[in-house]
Structure 1
Amino acid sequence: MVALDVYMTPENLPGTEAARVGKLLGLKGSAALDDILLADHVASGLAVSAAEALGTLLGRASIVGPLIPEATLRRAKKQRKALSREMSERLYEVSRVIDAASRLYRGDMPAISRFLNRPHPLLHGRAPLDLARSSSAGADAVINLLRRAESGFAV
């Protein structure tokens, strides 16, 4: 089962954003994650498998390089170490955007991909994924746009 399949039936979705994001990141016990436990995971550094899980969803080239340098990922994997807090926060922010887009588009990966990769006029012509990768404020801007769309505002 692909991680986005669960978004096709909203009644099967975990109830909290933390649990959904944990699932996208491939965290064990994600169903029991709350905001504090997820914050602890991110602060202590996510496993390399979290980057691999997002790479499986979006394509490796969307994560490795633009979000996490190849050498950093390779080194962490070789040394069996967690990613740095900074890299973990980047993964977390992008996974929040994927969660919001997946909820809006009900797990329809082609629609999600079109939204994430196409420049959007309300984001000053920037592609949502590029903006989300740029900073936490960028991720928040994309999430706010998706929430407006979910509420029925024209975007």
Structure 2
Amino acid sequence: MLAIGNIADVLGLPPKGTAARSPFGLMTSIENGLPMIALERVARLLAPGDAQFKYRLVPKATYERRKRGALKLSSDEGMRVARVARVWNLALDVWQTEDEARDFLFRVHPMLEDRRPIDVVIQNEIGAELVLEILAGLKYGSAA
């Protein structure tokens, strides 16, 4: 189940009772352009010691243009940030601490052909689904 409220929290969206807390509200927020602060927040949560991490989600030149102009992410950029927030949310639920969730996301994993989960998540939606399946298997158990 998609925990929209938790994803909205990770993205730093308005509190409970607002439209962004519903599935379609979150979709609309992404389509209309997530605020740049959502990118900053996700980057800080996932890689607090890496000031360059946000540029993996939005290229540096684009980031600089957005900071000077619209202050909103494009729909594609917002979807990428929301995808990372969704995976972070489940990793945190499974591992219970931010450090352990980060360790999982930034360490190569044999079920991902020795790629790091975070790299696979950033790459595309299919990669995110693979990582979510691994996390769900850890959380709920999986058939051997």
Deviates more, 1:29-38 or 1:136-145: 29-38
Distance in 2 between residues matched to 1:141 and 1:83, nearest whole Å: 25
Q: Provide the residue aligned with 1:46 in structure 2.
A: 34
Matched residue count: 139
Distance in 2 between residues matched to 1:27 and 1:113, nearest whole Å: 22
Equivalences for residues 96-115 of structure 1 within 5 A: 96-106=86-96, 108-115=97-104
1:146 and 2:135 matched: yes
Secondary structure, counterpart of 1:81 in structure 2: coil
1:42 Cα shift?
Answer: 0.8
Question: Mind listing any 5+ residue stretches in structure 1 that lack a counterpart?
Answer: 1-14
1:96 Cα shift?
Answer: 0.7
Equivalences for residues 4-153 of structure 1 within 5 A: 17-30=3-16, 32=18, 33-59=21-47, 60-62=51-53, 64-106=54-96, 108-153=97-142
Question: Mind listing any 5+ residue stretches in structure 2 that lack a counterpart?
Answer: none
Q: Deviations over 1:77-126 (max 9, x none)?
A: 211331111100100111111011011012x1221111001110111111
Distance in 1 between residues matched to 2:98 and 2:5, nearest whole Å: 20
Given that residues 55 and 63 in structure 2 are in contact (C-alpha distance below 8 angstroms), is that contact kept between their aligned partners in structure 1?
A: no
1:30 Cα shift?
Answer: 5.0
User: Which consecutive aligned stretches of 4+ in structure 1 deviate over 4 angstroms post-superposition?
Assistant: none
- Identical columns (%): 27
Distance in 2 between residues matched to 1:99 and 1:141, nearest whole Å: 15
Secondary structure, counterpart of 2:71 in structure 1: coil
Q: TM-score, with normalisation over the residues of structure 2?
A: 0.88
